[in-house]
Structure 1
């Protein structure tokens, strides 16, 4: 248990180290253009120091060493105001932070494999150490100065009181929280960590008394196991005393040791107000983790000061100035508790909630069925009652006629005539029994109705609770888009320095919340769009000035929420996308010039999203490699997203991305067209109206409706969606809400469309499911939904369907023009022609870990390769079959959907792909795994961690072999 907790703390430190690295990046960006602000320099210095100290404590020695060297560089920059940061120095600082990021990833992978921290020595010697050596050459060693003055936010200001008011206060409050916990878990470790870290702070600030006090605490812990609680409380009191003296500036009064019993210290209730504690070094988060897991802050109570004698008179005199207007230390009850939850568990909850939605819909369906059966039962009982009434009347008639024929002797013996005494036969008894049974059935029917009413109420409560759960789960999965956008300023700055372009990056709506899975999927598309905007859009400063523009270009990303969708726009003020170049390039790739001349600008622009299409004749490290924009569209399609482009020559280009608010559930409009059930997402539906024949206006080649002063193009689905297989009537139990022909109004800016349907069952909440298999979905569909009765209904991709229909309607041959654009393009791509000047090989990296893919991509790009990524074997196969041209593949073994072995098998069964060399890179180092991979055709096999130089040499040989062929 203790080992698991230590691992969790180390993981949390690596997460926090990323935040510190983000702080360093934000500080470094643009320092060659503007002087370093003192506050930012302090933030960078403290970030480097926090990484250094925390990494050393956690056992990440390489990370600690490199962070220490970066800290020394920042000390020089802080002290020597005469240093002018050149673009070269800015690049070195950014590169040093990049090295630290890679070391963090190395350490994270080592922890996942439950191994000790292991950083490749050759990588350090070739990649990391030269960067820090170059920094040392540029800046030299830091001067011997007081550390407090180095960290001071303003010249002449003493940082010690500030640190004791913020950092030390935060640490002590965490210790108080642990002491307030009834069972006080891992108290020894908490106090030991706190003593070491505070001691390190004392060394940095050169406070001898405080260092000795922390050493005294450590010694007490080592020698007095039985009194841990008493030692912790005594240490807390002594540290509080030291804090008061430090804030007052009387460092010589700080106590140097503690005793085994609680010492007599000043009353903390009369301490001055302190600054709100901020999250500082790693141990703050580490201590918080246990407090978060075991107790709630709302349960904490201030620890009462024990009775004690008055302090000496001299001490009272020293602290008189602090007694005016005292304020209580903020209690932790106002803070929100947090828990770290693996994303995998959130995804599992999301999948389970999807199943719950299906079950809820099934429950509602079955309740409706039961209600219908109950009504039928009522009707049958009423009919039975009427029959029984007729039967009783008939029996009475028979009885009266039969009574006259009874023998008079029988009557005399009884002493009564027929009018004075009724006589009953077997038929009467049977009739009476039937009547009583009918009454009993009526009572059971009423009981069923009452039970159904209760069940309906329970179902409504369940639906209400489930919707609240859905909202809560959606909020848990939300992350601000700034998590992705904050990585872009550094990339732009590096490109600006490398390529000599001046670019300003603007963000709006950075706080817009997006589902975590959607956000991860958006990372690569947004990076592709940013790269293309910088490389193809923004001109060089002298070119912009000749056009009358500012020498500084602008790339802007805006995010906002509209209804159930999130809209993201990526805009640049560059030269725009040349339509003529697109037409010429398409003609060079084999498309029919007649079709190209007839195509609209929107259709031509859509070609940039086809695999392998590029108007760039020169390959650069940024773009022009013939792949990339197809990734944007394919990734967006996975999350039911859409993309459109608008460009103006000389003014710039705007890409508009539209993605759903969440992927967990989708509200759909369930309709029928030509006997086929379809589901339309409600977030694209503007209105549903009845189709009136007199509203239809015939135009050449199409039909339109006049709706609210808009000319709406009418689309009849039965004309476009034709299925050759026989269809069985679906036999829906629930009657349709609208049983006559209707029109769904859709707004596809700037055009309006109306889709004609036959029947509609209204809005339903459903679960979105991907359709697995080798056969692609027809054009215009993006997945399916599952109804409560288990029926699978295709989910319509409205934008894709309407784009296809519009393209077909513009030609007399209808679908021929659309297929011509796609088929001819893909046929030309099958030949895989090289772009003019294209000599940089492309490598496909296949791994289910996005961090592994990014790290490997960074390594390969630094070595001069272009890199494409696939999330698993199935994704890689689909992209290769779609026309992606690569010279080699680096593939993992263990992946979802299609693993590495399955990928190799499919590659060897495809004539066009069978000669493509594949290198396996996996954590499996067993000989059995290696032999199986080699038997399936793998050219090379590497296990993690790997020797980077050996891997690159092997990859170079593989690429040369395929080029020679």
Structure 2
């Protein structure tokens, strides 16, 4: 059986389950009596175990199985949720993550986990874990694995067990139907489909082993098992299936639930009760409705969600092809306006509407919420805070903000480094904070938000801040800057110095971080993504690192404007509104022309001066066309010559030779073949 083609799916799904386990363990630590959380962790662990065993990663499956035993003890109230116990479970999750990473990098997924397994077994037996407990021998582990494989049975989660138990009470027969195909069967997936067609005519399929995705992709040898609930007797079920060609044998057994599953399925007084209704009729595959209710009466519907994983390279190809279509669409719209033919206008309008819908789908396929990066941080902060004897509250805001997948893949490591710096050298210890009149618990705030065609990620802490004197002293000592130049720097310019290679203001370097060590790598990584990073700080009050990243959406909505004889595009996402401003309404403040915009003072930026556009000066004009743009809470008014209109354009990079052009984020080809530069409004707002 060829497993290599399914490896990517296994790795992705394993990471998702491990992340869910991590998140739920943190919740369990806060709510140790909530059995719903334990059940959620158990489900992810159980799925991970099954996937690992199917793929042949025995170490991964064994460790997950041992972790399951502990979780089972917790939900059956034989084991108490203690900090020490959770530490060991967290450690086992770390080992599982290391195994998955090993597999992802081409390794075999093996790892020496004898010690953590021994700790889990101590917890399972009702004892407090101790690092000094001797590890379990390899021989014992091998024997246990052999016994497990030889006596393998189908395992059911709570929902499945309930459906099976209740269907039996209502007169239905639950069967495990094992179908073996002929050895020379060529189209295995087709035979599986035909078997399912037959079964669904006489009953309800509860589950299959392997699951339907693996069956569809022929990821099995020659046999598979279908768990079915039916009112048809077993002999007729067997004969119907045998009518499908290339079937070697059909074995039917009654479903046997173990004692704990049967008990859970019939105990409404448990902390979590699962009720299920199953409707089965002849010729109908049946409908299942399930709800989970806790003691408070809340319910949660179970829905099946069909997904497919697509290689990012295929999405890139699709995007490139669609970009060409958008350029041609713009050209067609231009020709349609010039010819003024009603039939052509109608056809082009319809094509524009349909391609617009297609465009939204393609763009959204590439977008991923930053939550996929942020959700690993609470666990990391918990561990580091404990190691350093600090109390830290991590606040995450805007986790639903979406970024392009290629940026998401790269931004994790820089954020981890900034977080470790904030925890180690930003937030003070509780006694120091208490002596300074601060709350003993420090706060780190991680915030993501959109602004224009960029995403901003701010990392703010209420810790010690950055000492200007320390930074300057170290910078002069390292030869980064001279004493004369140091005196004229603003605070912000001083803080930027810590991005210099190997720079650190830490009195001692810890194994967690040194303030500034590696920040040059953070800066380089972010700039390689087309972004930037800045620092602001108040000594004694805290620091804020602000990361600006491009959305990398190659198709954007813009307002086309004219400056002299040149055309420019301003992203609509940056624009608040357009306005016509009278000359007498323009004011002066701090050597800057400003206007009063809805009670706020907004500075004016003349694009003709910024981009050095040739042409006559329009200082004496009575009216000025102004585009009001914003970056976060800050605003500016861009003075232009005229507005052309709104349009969808393809954002093209300027290339390596022009990547540092001020306030220009790219270019686009317009419908008439002209090139228009796209303005980066964030660069114009200071």
What is the CA–CA distance in structure 1 between the aligned matches of 2:399 and 2:27, rounded to whole Å? 20
Is 1:129 matched up with 2:113?
Answer: yes
What is the CA–CA distance in structure 2 between the aligned matches of 1:246 and 1:82, rounded to whole Å? 16
Q: Which residue of 2 aligns with 1:52?
A: 49
Q: Which residue of 2 aligns with 1:409?
A: none
Greater CA drift, 40-49 or 680-689? 40-49
What is the CA–CA distance in structure 2 between the aligned matches of 1:79 and 1:27, rounded to whole Å? 18
What is the CA–CA distance in structure 1 between the aligned matches of 2:534 and 2:509, rounded to whole Å? 25
Q: Which residue of 1 aligns with 2:662?
A: 779
Q: Which residue of 1 aligns with 2:16?
A: 19
Is 1:683 matched up with 2:573?
Answer: yes
Conserved? CA contact 2:57–2:109, under 8 Å = no
Conserved? CA contact 2:444–2:462, under 8 Å = yes
Aligned ranges for residues 110-129 of structure 1 at < 5 Å? 110=106, 118-119=108-109, 124=111, 128-129=112-113
Alpha-carbon offset, residue 97 of structure 1: 1.4
Q: Which residue of 1 aligns with 2:94?
A: 98
5+ long unaligned stretches in structure 2: 128-155, 168-173, 179-187, 200-204, 212-224, 266-273, 291-300, 616-620
Aligned with 1:185 (options 183, 186, 192): 192
Higher relative contact order, chain-length normalized (CA < 8 Å, sep 6+)? 2
Alpha-carbon offset, residue 98 of structure 1: 1.9
Alpha-carbon offset, residue 675 of structure 1: 5.2
What is the CA–CA distance in structure 2 between the aligned matches of 1:625 and 1:548, rounded to whole Å? 24
Q: 1:600 to 1:160 in 2, by over 3 A?
A: closer
Aligned with 1:486 (options 372, 375, 390): 375
Q: In structure 1, the residue corresponding to 2:113 is in which secondary structure?
A: helix
Is 1:344 matched up with 2:313?
Answer: yes
Is 1:591 matched up with 2:486?
Answer: no
Conserved? CA contact 2:395–2:445, under 8 Å = yes
Q: In structure 2, the residue corresponding to 1:747 is in which secondary structure?
A: strand
Q: Which residue of 2 aligns with 1:420?
A: none
Aligned ranges for residues 283-682 of structure 1 at < 5 Å? 302-304=281-283, 329-330=288-289, 337-368=306-337, 370-371=338-339, 452-559=341-448, 568-588=457-477, 589-591=479-481, 596-608=486-498, 614-624=504-514, 626=516, 628-629=518-519, 646-656=536-546, 663-673=553-563, 676-682=566-572
Q: In structure 2, the residue corresponding to 1:529 is in which secondary structure?
A: helix
Alpha-carbon offset, residue 108 of structure 1: 4.0
Q: In structure 1, the residue corresponding to 2:513 is in which secondary structure?
A: coil
Q: In structure 1, the residue corresponding to 2:321 is in which secondary structure?
A: helix
Alpha-carbon offset, residue 100 of structure 1: 1.4
Alpha-carbon offset, residue 748 of structure 1: 4.7
Give the TM-score normalised by the residue count of structure 1.
Answer: 0.51
What is the CA–CA distance in structure 1 between the aligned matches of 2:21 and 2:574, rounded to whole Å? 43
Q: Which residue of 2 aligns with 1:957?
A: none
What is the CA–CA distance in structure 1 between the aligned matches of 2:239 and 2:387, rounded to whole Å? 59
Aligned ranges for residues 244-263 of structure 1 at < 5 Å? none
Q: 1:250 to 1:136 in 2, by over 3 A?
A: closer
Is 1:794 matched up with 2:683?
Answer: no
The alignment yields a C-alpha RMSD, in angstroms, of: 5.4
Conserved? CA contact 1:274–1:329, under 8 Å = no
Alpha-carbon offset, residue 500 of structure 1: 1.7
Alpha-carbon offset, residue 495 of structure 1: 1.0
Alpha-carbon offset, residue 471 of structure 1: 2.0
Conserved? CA contact 2:563–2:607, under 8 Å = yes
Question: Which deviations, in whole Å up to 9, do the C-alpha atoms of 1:34-57 show, x marking residues without a partner?
Answer: 757544445444544443333223
Alpha-carbon offset, residue 488 of structure 1: 0.8
Q: Which residue of 2 aligns with 1:64?
A: 61
What is the CA–CA distance in structure 2 between the aligned matches of 1:689 and 1:348, rounded to whole Å? 40
What is the CA–CA distance in structure 1 between the aligned matches of 2:302 and 2:632, rounded to whole Å? 50
Greater strand share, 1 or 2? 2
Q: Which residue of 2 aligns with 1:762?
A: 645
What is the CA–CA distance in structure 2 between the aligned matches of 1:780 and 1:169, rounded to whole Å? 67
Conserved? CA contact 2:63–2:117, under 8 Å = no
Alpha-carbon offset, residue 567 of structure 1: 5.4
Q: Which residue of 1 aligns with 2:216?
A: none
Conserved? CA contact 2:18–2:44, under 8 Å = yes
What is the CA–CA distance in structure 2 between the aligned matches of 1:304 and 1:246, rounded to whole Å? 34
Alpha-carbon offset, residue 105 of structure 1: 3.1
Question: Which deviations, in whole Å up to 9, do the C-alpha atoms of 1:528-548 show, x marking residues without a partner?
Answer: 332232123211121122223
Conserved? CA contact 1:362–1:789, under 8 Å = yes
Conserved? CA contact 1:639–1:663, under 8 Å = no
What is the CA–CA distance in structure 1 between the aligned matches of 2:189 and 2:102, rounded to whole Å? 38
Equivalenced residues, count: 597
Q: 1:512 to 1:25 in 2, by over 3 A?
A: same
Aligned ranges for residues 865-876 of structure 1 at < 5 Å? none
What is the CA–CA distance in structure 1 between the aligned matches of 2:262 and 2:375, rounded to whole Å? 40
Question: Which deviations, in whole Å up to 9, do the C-alpha atoms of 1:594-619 show, x marking residues without a partner?
Answer: 65544444444455556655543543
What is the CA–CA distance in structure 1 between the aligned matches of 2:79 and 2:663, rounded to whole Å? 63
Aligned ranges for residues 183-262 of structure 1 at < 5 Å? 185=192, 226-227=242-243
What is the CA–CA distance in structure 1 between the aligned matches of 2:190 and 2:29, rounded to whole Å? 54
Q: 1:504 to 1:228 in 2, by over 3 A?
A: farther
Alpha-carbon offset, residue 680 of structure 1: 2.8
Q: In structure 2, the residue corresponding to 1:769 is in which secondary structure?
A: coil
What is the CA–CA distance in structure 2 between the aligned matches of 1:628 and 1:232, rounded to whole Å? 63
Determine which structure has more spread, i.e. the larger CA radius of gyration: 1
Alpha-carbon offset, residue 786 of structure 1: 2.9
Greater CA drift, 474-483 or 328-337? 328-337
What is the CA–CA distance in structure 2 between the aligned matches of 1:775 and 1:40, rounded to whole Å? 53
